[in-house]
Amino acid sequence: MAACVSDGSVEPEIKKAKPSGNGNEEKAEGPAASERSTFNLHSFRLERVLRENVRDKTIFLHGKVGEDQGDVQDAVIILEKTPFQEDALPQLLNRNADLRLQMKNDIYSTHHLHPLPAFNEIKTTVVCPATEKHIKKYLQQEMYLVNETADDYKNITTPYLQSQTFSVQWLYNILEKKAEVEQIIHENPDPKIGFILIPDFKWNQKQLDDLHLIAISHFREVKSIRDLTAEHLPMLQTILQEGQMVISKRYNIPKSQLRIYLHYQPSYYHLHVHFTAVGHDAPGSMVERAHLLFNVIENVQFDPEYYQKRTLTFALKADDPLLHRFKEEGRI
């Protein structure tokens, strides 16, 4: 079911119609009532393309909905081609598929394959009503690297964060079992060191090559790695060890094939840890943003105030208000 979010952080995955499973059918079965989207795609009027990623086969669109009802709202739609599934290849390449020759030269040829409708699925994420913050989040912009010192964090970043409203109610809904209960992979209920392990909305859970899970801490006082001290080591170690164990048991992926990290700055200010397949080039896994959990634990063990003292580097978009604050202070 399409969901509307207003916090600008993480958008839940939209439910999609499932293939019928019969490769000889010309059409997939219609979605069950529980899977039908409440978002009226037909009412969406495209305003502009915010960004397109050719490598990831993803496009970000901004438009208006509700004009026919007199209740106009902004909406962001993200369209993403889904990965191939090995068990579906026999049906994808069956005799009913339409293969059209484009070019042939000796032993080499290129074709356009037009598969059955059941295999034309496009993952669709909807943010509605979308705020200006959402629209800017997905807009193609120049990026700038910021080297945030301890003083910068105290004098620039912290006052900025305190002046902003960052709602994470959607996340508390997960922790309190008010939403996405069926998505929970594992839970340690301890209020101090426990967490919930849940699939990231970007992972369709149909193949392991792009596995992406999120461990969300039950403890609400840590917003980012800047807050971490020695008292939080049991929580970090629990997330690391239990997360590895659960993923190994459920998905048969050893810990040596997992990339486990935290973001700085994070998309939302509540401690959470990413678990991704090490071969997956996951968004946000770049060196200027991802901090490996194993290294974070060692750093805090070495110096309990490590993340209060050190300079942290991160990227900001050109129109990010925080970037403007750094520029005003002559730090950029």
Give the CATH number for residue 106: 3.30.200.40
Whether residues 126 and 253 share a domain: the answer is: no
Handedness of CA 321, 324, 326, 329 (dihedral sign): negative
- Whether residue 9 is found in the same domain as residue 117: yes
How confident is the model at residue 81, as a pLDDT? 84
Packed helices 293-302 and 233-251: angle between N→C axes, nearest 10 degrees:
160
Lowest mean pLDDT among 9-18, 118-127, 213-222: 9-18
Task: Measure CA 54 to chain center.
Answer: 18
CATH number at residue 150: 3.30.428.10
Instruction: Label residue 154 by pLDDT band (50, 70, 90).
Output: very high
Residues 167 and 286 in one domain: yes
With bands split at pLDDT 50, 70 and 90, how would you rate the model's confidence at 34? low
Looking at the whole model, is its pTM more than 0.85? no
For residue 332, pLDDT beyond 80: yes
Whether residues 301 and 213 share a domain: the answer is yes
pLDDT given at position 196: 97
Same domain, 34 and 114: yes
- The percent of residues in the chain predicted with pLDDT above 70, rounded, is 89
Pick from 113, 118, 122, 48: nearest CA to 83 = 122
User: Cβ(77)–Cβ(44) under 8 Å?
Assistant: yes
Question: Region 97-125: what's the mean pLDDT?
Answer: 83
Catalytic residues: 272
Q: How confident is the model at residue 130 (pLDDT cuts 50, 70, 90)?
A: confident
pLDDT tens profile 210-269: 899 999 999 999 999 999 999 999 999 999 999 999 999 999 999 999 999 999 999 899
Number of domains present in the structure of the chain: 2
Looking at residue 97, its pLDDT comes to 76
Cβ proximity of 37 and 51 under 8 Å: no
- Rounded-to-integer distance, Cα 293 and Cα 178, Å: 28
Average pLDDT of the chain is 84
Does 19 score more than 70 pLDDT? no
CA dist 181 → 160, 174, 244 (Å): 34, 7, 21
